[in-house]
Amino acid sequence: MNSHETSGFCAAMATVWPTFEVSTERVKILALLLRDIELSDAMIAMEVLANTYDGEFAPSIPTIMKTIRKVTEAPAERLGAEEAFGLVQQAVSRFGYYQEAAALKSLPPKAAIAAKALGWNNICMTEHDDLGTLRAHFYRTFNAVTERVKDEKFIPDARQQRIENSEIAGLINGATRSLD
C-alpha cells in the first residue's frame, strides 16, 4: 500500500475501532510496515478481524499481518500436516524407494521439504510398527517448515537479500567453515 491507501486503511480502522487514533506518524509507520501488502488484502483482513476479533482496542500489527496471511494463502499453502503426511504416504506407494526425485516433485513444496529433511530413504524403510513415530516427526518438521515459509513471506525481497549478504551472515558462515 502507498501512503494514500494506508491513510484510508487507518480511517477505516478508526471507524471499526474508535480507540484507534489516526496520526501522521502512525500512517507513516503503517505505510512502511504494510508497503508490500495490497489494499484489498488489508481490507479483507480488517473485515475478518471486525467479525472475529473481540478486543476492546484495535488489533496489533502482528495480528493484522497474521490475518492477512490467512486470507491471502493459496489452497496449497493451507495444507495441514495430516494431509501432507497422507500425500507422502501416497508418494511412497506410487514411487517407492528408488524414485526419490519424482516422488518429491509430485508433492506440494512444504511436504517435499519436510520429507527431504526426514530423508526419503528413512520414510520408505520405516516399519509399520514405527509409523506413529515417523508421523510425529513429520508433523513437527512440516509445522516448522510452515512457520518458516510464513515468516519469510513477509520479509521483502530486498530486505531478505540484505540479511543474506550482511556482515552477520558472513560471520556466521565463517564460523561454520572454521568448525569444519
pLDDT at 131: 85
**Whether 97 and 147 share a structural domain:** yes
DSSP state of 71: H
**Whether 62 and 83 share a structural domain:** no
With a cut of 60, say whether residue 167 has pLDDT above it.
Answer: no
Indicate whether 176 belongs to any domain. no
| All cell numbers assigned to 139 | 508433523
- Which amino acid does the sequence have at 104? L
pTM of the shown model: 0.56
**Whether 149 and 84 share a structural domain:** yes
**Whether 148 and 81 share a structural domain:** yes
User: 64: exposed, middle or buried (C-beta count within 10 Å: 0-12, 13-18, 19+)?
Assistant: buried
Indicate whether 168 belongs to any domain. no
Indicate whether 174 belongs to any domain. no
| All cell numbers assigned to 167 | 556482515
Domain carrying residue 31 = 3-72
Indicate whether 163 belongs to any domain. no
**Whether 122 and 85 share a structural domain:** yes
Per residue in 100-155, pLDDT (tens digit) is 899 999 998 889 999 999 999 889 988 888 888 999 999 999 999 888 877 776 66
Per residue in 59-107, pLDDT (tens digit) is 888 888 888 878 877 666 678 889 999 999 999 999 988 898 999 999 9
Concatenated DSSP letters of 93-104: HHHTTT-HHHHH
**Whether 93 and 60 share a structural domain:** no
Residues 39-47, mean pLDDT to the nearest whole number: 89
Concatenated DSSP letters of 2-67: -HHHHHHHHHHHHHH-TT----HHHHHHHHHHTTTS-HHHHHHHHHHHHHH---SSPPPHHHHHHH
Of 57, 72, 87, the position where a domain reaches its end is 72
Of residues 69 and 173, more confidence is placed in 69
**Whether 57 and 82 share a structural domain:** no
Dist CA 114 CA 79 (whole Å): 13
Instruction: State the total domains in the chain.
Output: 2
**Whether 84 and 146 share a structural domain:** yes
> Which residues touch 45 (CB under 8 Å, ≥6 apart)?
64, 67, 68, 70, 71
**Whether 119 and 143 share a structural domain:** yes
